[in-house]
Every structure is written in C-alpha cells, then in structure tokens.
Amino acid sequence: MDSLTKRLHKIQSQYFPRWDINHKYRIEKWDLPGARCDYKEKLIYVSNVNDELVIIHEICHAVVANGLHGPEFQNRLLKVADVANSLGGAKLANDIRSQVDWMRNQFKDHPDRRLTVREVCGEIEDAVLDVPKLSFDDIVKYVAREHAMYPEELLKYYPKSLRRAFDNAHSLLEVNQELHPI
C-alpha cells in the first residue's frame, strides 16, 4: 500500500469511521491544481498530497455523493471539525470552520446553487476562443471538471445552451478570421 493510500485510510479512520469500510475508494496524485472527488468511479484526486484539509474536503464529497457545497456538505465538514477539535487538532478544526463560513457567505442566497446559463455559456465560449481546436465534448469535460461536476450533469442542466454557446463561439471565430485573415 502506497503512502497516499495509507494517508487516506488514516484520515478515514479518524474522521469517517463508517465510510468506505471496504476501502473501495482510491486516491491518486493529480497533475492539475486543486482536487476532485469522482464518487462514481470511487476515486479522489489531489494535487497537494500533504494537505489534510483538501483530502477531508474531497472525502466529504464522497460521503454526500454530489459536487455541491450546500448545507449537507457543510454540516458534514462541521462534524469533522468537531472530531478534529476533540482529537487536539484545533488548527484543522478552525480551518474547516473557516472554509464552511466562506461557503456560507458565497452561497448564502442559493445554498445549492448551480451555474447560471450565462456563466456556463460564457465559460464554454471562452474555452472555444482560447483553444478552438478542442471538441465540444472536451470543452464540456473541462468546464464540468472546473465545477466539480460530471459532463453528463452539465449537459442535463443545460442541454441546448452548451451546444449553442459552442457553435456561436466558432461562428465568432470564423467572422473574425474573415475580417482579419492571417
């Protein structure tokens, strides 16, 4: 068993003793910045393998089984903060509570907020303009990953808008190339 898996199991036994008792979840070092929990594949990706808070955060996504940072997720994090505090981890407990406070401020009007159509279409268009050769599927995967979602979820919530944004951005590129040939 590698050291990252040992770390996952240690954190699990301390803070999530009833979660994943058969150790079906795996953890891997991720080359991209940040972290992600793929709860369908039972895989946690982390770029900073030494950041206990990040691993705890991603395990909470696995426990709650969604990519949202809503009340259920926040309450699960607060339970971990209480356990950390009881184990003498006052700094970790405070860091977790600070993260939850930040989330509550960010999402106070819409705790289970999803991206607006305007936001997601803007990101699709930006991605096309930045890297025009990427396929629609690749851009949807990228935008979904940026928001801790699966591509299928993004397509479910915005079925026609994503394709329209993708096509509009390519049309803009074509017009721009006609006006300013290289």
Long-range contacts of 16-22 (CB under 8 A, 24+ apart): 16/59, 16/63, 16/80, 19/59, 19/62, 19/63, 20/62
Give the count of alpha carbons within 13 A of 73, CB side only. 22
Q: How confident is the model at residue 108 (pLDDT cuts 50, 70, 90)?
A: low
pLDDT in tens, 8-63: 999 999 999 999 999 999 999 987 767 888 878 899 999 888 889 999 999 999 99
Distance CA(102)–CA(85), nearest Å, equals: 19
Distance CA(47)–CA(7), nearest Å, equals: 14
Distance CA(46)–CA(26), nearest Å, equals: 11
E strand segments, the chain: 26-29, 35-38, 43-46
Fold of domain 3-106: Zincin-like (3.30.2010)
